[in-house]
Amino acid sequence: MPSSDKLTTRDMTQLGILLAAAIALRLAESTVAYLLPLPGAHLGLANTVTIIVLYLYGTHRAALFLTARVILTGLLFTGLFSPGFNIGLGGATLSFLTMAVAVTHNWFSSIGVGVCGAFFHNCGQILVAMVLMRTTSLLSYLPILIAIGIPTGIFTGLLAGVFLKRSPSYRKEGNFHE
């Protein structure tokens, strides 16, 4: 993570490219949605980029990054403040909070952070859906989402780890250990 609180032009450019990549990955995911034909289930490839931003830029900048990602994704895919947007926002918020704590305290590798993010994203989605639909019966769907979320979390964390391993700025900060 950069040592200075000042956001350089290079940082803004890099974050913009990463934001575009996250949105493109979400678009690609939506075009192959038939691979996981369950409501609320997707690969979470955009979360790979969020994990990368967490490690490279820290929690504050990653929170801003995720906010931009969620708003832009909402505008492009679900519509702002629609039920689908709110459910996704609940998942993204709970997921981010737990991933940020895990990264800050260095509790897990990027794979563990990916699993943590996927697990809590599913929990957040179900919690918001239960509030919106005023029913607890949706809890029965949570084990299915978690069963799908664990392997996808492993995959997104693994991808983020591969990227970080090859990132000169991550290595320079002394975060990478072979």
Domain around 83: 9-172
Q: Is residue 177 part of a domain?
A: no
Q: Is residue 118 part of a domain?
A: yes
Q: CB of 89 within 8 A of CB of 72?
A: no
Q: Is residue 26 part of a domain?
A: yes
Q: How far apart are CA 175 and CA 172, in angstroms?
A: 8
- Number of domain units in the chain: 1
Q: Is residue 1 part of a domain?
A: no
Q: Is residue 4 part of a domain?
A: no
CA 4 to chain centre: 24
Q: Is residue 31 part of a domain?
A: yes
Which helix (DSSP H) or strand (DSSP E) does residue 23 occupy? helix 9-31
pLDDT at residue 29, rounded to an integer: 83
Q: Is residue 2 part of a domain?
A: no
Q: Is residue 132 part of a domain?
A: yes
pLDDT at residue 128, rounded to an integer: 96
pTM: 0.86
pLDDT at residue 32, rounded to an integer: 74
pLDDT at residue 39, rounded to an integer: 67
Q: How far apart are CA 52 and CA 14, in angstroms?
A: 11
CATH number at residue 105: 1.10.1760.20
- The pLDDT profile of the chain, 178 residues, written as one tens digit per residue, is 444 568 889 889 999 999 999 999 988 887 776 666 676 667 889 999 999 999 999 999 999 999 999 999 989 888 888 998 999 899 999 999 999 999 999 999 999 999 999 999 999 999 999 999 999 999 998 999 999 899 999 999 999 999 999 887 665 555 543 3
